[in-house]
Amino acid sequence: MINEDALSNLMVDIDFLESEFKSIGKNQVPSYLQPTTRKSQYSVVNPKNLRNLLDKLSKFSSESRKAAEREVGARRRKEAESVARLIP
């Protein structure tokens, strides 16, 4: 069972990730999917962790009342599926 502290921590994670994605200014997941770019620029990014973060973002956005945020959630879910294919 999830308690209030767990939900609070999840919301902090989600808020942080959303702010980081917004500060970058564009979606970096497609470039991460390119093998040469992934090895050179994202060598420290663990694909399992990225997939988990994208899953969290997609779940959060998909529950929104705003259509635009639900679309973002759907896009994040597709990106998580693409990253999951990279995991051996």
Where in the chain are the domains?
4-84
* Average pLDDT score over the chain: 87
What is the predicted pLDDT for the residue at 41? 86
What is the predicted pLDDT for the residue at 25? 59
Q: How far is Cα of residue 57 from the mean position of the Cα atoms in its chain?
A: 5
The residue with tokens 């988990």 is: 52
Q: Distance between CA 37 and CA 31 in Å, rounded?
A: 6
Tell me which of 19 and 39 has the higher pLDDT.
Answer: 39
Q: Distance between CA 57 and CA 13 in Å, rounded?
A: 9
For range 26-49, the mean pLDDT? 87
For range 32-57, the mean pLDDT? 90
Q: Give me the amino acid identity at 74.
A: A
Q: Give me the amino acid identity at 14.
A: I
Q: Distance between CA 43 and CA 36 in Å, rounded?
A: 10
In the predicted model, is pLDDT for residue 1 greater than 70? no
What are the pLDDT digits (tens) for 64-76? 899 988 998 999 9
- Give the pLDDT band (50/70/90) at residue 5: confident
80 sits in which H/E element: helix 67-84
